[in-house]
Amino acid sequence: MTERFSGKVAVVTGAGAGMGAAVARRLAAEGATVAVFDRDLTGASATAAAIRADGGTAEPYEVDIRLSAQVAAAIERVGGIDVLVNVAGVVRYGEVPDFAEDEWDLVLDTNLKGTYLTAKYAIPAMRARGGGAIVNFASVQAFASQQLVAAYSASKGAVVALTRTLALDHAKDNIRVNCVCPGSVETPMLRYGAQQLDDRDPAEVMREWGALHPIGRLIQPEDVAGLVAFLASDDAAAITGAPHLVDGGLLAKLGV
């Protein structure tokens, strides 16, 4: 594998499992020193250990990205930053009249405020190094929703909009900002959704969700990590301010 990130430092949030872990491993495999951010230190440590076992460089950080002081302190510890990937996210289900306010706050604060806070503290560090790249995580549900996900779809639509403005504001700083919009990815969060929305075996439910995609299967975390690595690399030097689908053709099928 090429080392497109040799000598570069990458921060990946939500990197203790799922897509975040896959992104952290991919960037490390291409030469990046990776700061593994997760509110679960056990998960962050496991990802960092796996990277080191493969010959890469990584350090775990226990960070709740909803909390400004924690994000600021972690970014300061990392020091110079070339790449920021905002993967951390949560989903909760329910119709708005029955949706608890603290659940709304959990989803919006994690998915949207967390993206704002990491950018707030990472951008000055990138600017000091002459530029960098940010990849945020939105979702196909920013464009085509399902039932019971008002908070999640609202947060992901906002991430798409935030990405555009960050890209415009910081083009002058040689900082590119894009976002990826996955479909159904085989992760612990998807399994949680299957358990919440259906009484059957979660694995069976997830297979059915995968079959809804024209490619006929669930998207794998590594599929998403490949797109992230491209967008964060110099191969995407002229790409900024846009959402990028990794949805197995789902939105094409829906006509969105």
Residue 4 has which token pair? Answer: 């497109």
Q: Is 35 helix (H, G, I), strand (E, B) or coil?
A: strand
Give the chain's radius of gyration (CA, Å): 17
Closest CA relative to residue 20, chosen from 251, 203, 132, 180: 180
Active-site residue, selected from the candidate residues 61, 116, 121, 152? 152
The 10 Å Cβ neighbour count of residue 76 is 10
Query: DSSP letter at 220?
Result: P
Phi and psi at residue 246, to the nearest 5°:
-135, 75
**Interatomic CA distance for residues 166 and 84, integer angstroms:** 13
- Contacts of 89-98 with CB under 8 Å at 24 or more apart are 89/14, 89/137, 89/155, 89/189, 90/189, 91/149, 91/152, 91/189, 91/192, 91/193, 92/151, 92/152, 93/148, 93/149, 93/193, 93/196, 93/197, 94/148, 94/150, 95/147, 95/148, 95/150, 96/150
Residue 191 tokens, joined: 């399994």
Write out the two tokens for 63.
């960070």
Contact 231, 178 (CB under 8 A): yes
Told to judge if 61 belongs to the known catalytic residues of this protein, a careful annotator would answer no
Q: List active site positions.
A: 152
